[in-house]
Chains A and B, each alone.
Chain A
Amino acid sequence: DIVMTQSPDSLAVSLGERVTINCKSSQSVLCSSNNKDCLTWYQQKPGQPPKVLIYWASTRESGVPDRFSGSGSGTDFTLTISSLQAEDVAVYYCQHYYGTPPMYTFGQGTKLEI
């Protein structure tokens, strides 16, 4: 089974600072169907469902502010918030998809506070 491990589990950052959250997979997350990394980042605020920020490791979802960016390849990935805003307080999850057989695996989450 693929295991997704995020670091850190939590962090407290000042407004305007740069934030980096890491996600490591126990195996390559390359999608065989399109030769892209099937690695997605979500933001979840209290009482709300997760919201997709980044898919294919680095493609920003429509409407997501450009202060959010994703990078990495293979087994190591990073979500970066270039300048933390108050509304970015949330839990962030990475998620991998494996197609055969289908399986979606989430990291344990990283709680971001100010």
Chain B
Amino acid sequence: QVQLQASGPGLVKPSQTLSLTCTVSGGSTSSTSSYWSWIRQPAGKGLEWIGRIYTSGSTSYNPSLKSRVTISVDTSKNQFSLKLSSVTAADTAVYYCARDPMKGGYFDNWGQGALVTVSS
């Protein structure tokens, strides 16, 4: 069973950059049969896919966030990371990291989520 754990600052000031890291265990970010994604969920609201990365470093982003998002992978540490720039209060959410096993575009393993609050 693949386990994922998101970590990073829980409080970010407006206009700054949100940074989170997802550590993978029981699986490998070097896997050629997985995509690694970030998904967020504001309190009491629905789920929004942010973007994904493949072991090669190839990325895809949600067009609504693309101009502010960077996802990277460090296979030596078995981690992948999210940077979201120029944040506002609207970016306050629980941020999940998750794995797509490349079987049909779904997420079979999720981290517990990291709450990030944007506030001065």
Contacts and interface: CB of A to CB of B under 8 A. Distances in A.
Interface of A: 31, 34, 36, 38, 40, 42, 48-52, 55-56, 61, 93, 95-99, 101-109
B96 interface: yes
A2 to B, nearest CB: 12
Contacts, number: 63
B46 A107 contact: yes
Interface residues of B, number: 23
5 contacts: A36-B104, A48-B112, A49-B96, A52-B107, A105-B49
Query: What's the dominant secondary structure at chain A's contact region?
Result: strand
A109 B105 contact: no
A97 B105 contact: yes
Interface in B12-35: none
